Amino acid sequence: MPEGVTTVIATRSRPELLRRAVASILSQDYEGPIEIVVVFDGTDVDELSDVRPPENRRIRTTRNVRTPGLAGARNTGIDVAAHAYTAFCDDDDEWKPGKLASQIKLLDDDSVIVAATGIEIHSTGGVHERLAPSRVTLDDLLRSRITELHPSSFLFRTVDLRGRLGWIDEALPASYGEDYDLLLRAAKLGPIDAVGEALTVVHWDRTSFFSERWQGIVDGLSYLLDKHPEFERSKVGQARIEGQIAFAHAALGNRRGARTWAWRTLRHSPIQPRAYIAMLVGLRLARGETVVAALNKRGRGM
């Protein structure tokens, strides 16, 4: 029988969406055993007693016993994972039936650190299919976040998460960019491979972007720039992150911070659009939330 897979779902106060995610994992056509570890972060534990797993499947529920937030919740799940492979799924996303069976073969190559799939984004503007490159290296990730590599599609060897790759960084402010940090660390060890099909469904059709998150973006992305000095070898990649920081400052109403980071962005890449958008938001010619909502509608992010 194929090796088992533990799927970690970190959740908070979304019972109906959680059950949809759980159902999609229980419905995988993968022949090996699957356990779902649902980690409740800052809320009471729901035992999911109304959900009846089929044979060769089980559900475990627990409270986040580590740092509050997404990083600590995922690490809580990794710590108790019972199987050789560990996957992530956000509580508002879902998997198509062939997801695990298609991607687990990628980890037969010992050099591959992370296996992913393409994504199907459901936004208020419709359905958008985004396919990730079949192989991604560190230089690729320095240049671009490659948002097609979504954490709800990630699959790892459990031993790597507990060893050479390491845990989710709980020191990352607001857990912002924890998935990007994990990909960067993984790519320093070996390639990231993806199945050329959109087998992970990402739901942006209820997207809301609260103003209090902007400071977390500023702090989280600044932390990543400091943590990964390799960004210095990619001016385009530096400018991309600096432009995001400028935009977040502008959305916060911090015109001085927006201006400082926008100029820093343009020194590295004069054609980086985020710098110009940040200036518009800083001048109050547009609202940050409005810009993000328009991008999300097209299946894009800032």
CA–CA gap between residue 123 and residue 300 (Å, rounded): 9
% of the chain residues with pLDDT over 70: 92
Q: Which pair of structure tokens corresponds to residue 271?
A: 């054609």
CA–CA gap between residue 262 and residue 249 (Å, rounded): 10
**0.85 exceeded by the pTM?**
yes
% of the chain residues with pLDDT over 90: 82
**Span 105-149, pLDDT tens digits:** 999 999 999 999 999 999 888 999 999 999 999 999 999 999 999
How far CA 22 is from CA of 146, 247, 285, in Å, comes to 26, 35, 43
pLDDT at 78: 98
Q: Is the pLDDT of residue 208 over 50?
A: no
Q: Is the pLDDT of residue 226 over 90?
A: yes
| CA proximity to 193, closest of 127, 233, 148, 162 | 148
Query: 3-state secondary structure string, the chain?
Result: CCCCEEEEEEECCCHHHHHHHHHHHHCCCCCCCEEEEEEECCCCCCCCCCCCCCCCEEEEEEECCCCCCHHHHHHHHHHHCCCCEEEECCCCCEECCCHHHHHHHHHHCCCCCEEEEEEEEEECCEEEEECCCCEECHHHHHHCCCCCCCHHHCEEEHHHHCCCCCCCCCCCHHHCCHHHHHHHHHHCCCCEEEEEEEEEEEECCCCCCCHHHHHHHHHHHHHHHHHCHHHHHCHHHHHHHHHHHHHHHHHHCCHHHHHHHHHHHHHHCCCCHHHHHHHHHHCCCCCHHHHHHHHHHCCCCC
For the beta carbon of residue 292, count every other beta carbon within 10 angstroms.
18
The ranges of the chain annotated as CATH 3.90.550.10 are 5-203
CA–CA gap between residue 45 and residue 30 (Å, rounded): 28
pLDDT at 211: 42
5-203: CATH topology is Spore Coat Polysaccharide Biosynthesis Protein SpsA; Chain A (3.90.550)
The per-residue pLDDT of the chain, averaged, comes to 92
Q: Which pair of structure tokens corresponds to residue 227?
A: 């943590």
**47 residue type, one letter:** E
**Span 66-78, pLDDT tens digits:** 999 999 999 999 9
Number of residues that make up the chain: 302
pLDDT at 291: 66
For the beta carbon of residue 271, count every other beta carbon within 10 angstroms.
9
Q: Is the pLDDT of residue 297 over 90?
A: no
Backbone angles phi, psi at 301, to 5 degrees: -130, 170
- 31 exposure class (CB count in 10 Å sphere: 0-12, 13-18, 19+): exposed
